[in-house]
Amino acid sequence: MTPLIKSISDEYRRYKNMAEGALAQVPEDLLSTPGPGNGNSLAVICWHIAGNFQSRFSDFLISDGEKPWRDREEEFAARSISRRELMEKWALGWRTVLSAIDALTDDDLFKTVTIRQQPLSVHEALHRSLAHVSYHVGQIVYVAHYFCGAEWKYLTIPPGQSAAYNLAPKFDKPTAHAEHVKGISRG
């Protein structure tokens, strides 16, 4: 894998692991519960991310990223699903995006792809997608933290520990952060 593509792939993996660390802390019966203010449930947010990835990154370099088979409105429909169903859908979306990205080279970054019939360079499409997923992962973390309350295990630097962390930062690289988050979700 080439250096620029690896850095992009690592960032996607950082957000994937952060979301999974948050989801792992939430009891199964709350995964389909609407978020604060009757917002989207964790299941809905994850369903949307997976649907977006499947559409955008199936045949990434050769077809429009808004596939005719995608039903974006359905992604936002309230749903009651098990953790297993949620994680299967989630994994399918992530396999699609990571496989497409990992197949790229740095030279591909200047090729053109289309999304909703609009031409974008590959690097523009990847930045747009990464910003999109980071936005939704932030929602996942927020809603998960809300549901967990005092039982929440911080996925980044806990409040009041910034100074200590700055003396010995160890999670600033995506791969190190991903390992840290995996340890939290297993714990």
Dump pLDDT digits (tens) for 130-147: 999 999 999 999 999 999
The two tokens of residue 54 are 């499947």
Helix or strand run (H / E) with residue 60: none
Q: Which amino acid type is present at position 178? A: A
Query: What is the predicted pLDDT for the residue at 177?
Result: 65
Alpha carbons 77 and 58: distance in angstroms, whole number: 23
Dump pLDDT digits (tens) for 6-57: 999 999 999 999 999 999 999 999 999 999 999 999 999 999 999 999 999 9
Across the range 169-182, mean pLDDT stands at 69
The two tokens of residue 104 are 């790229």
Dump pLDDT digits (tens) for 97-112: 999 999 999 999 999 9
Query: What is the predicted pLDDT for the residue at 167?
Result: 85
Is the distance from CB of 25 to CB of 151 less than 8 angstroms?
yes
| Nearest in space to 181 (alpha carbons), one of 18, 54, 10 | 18
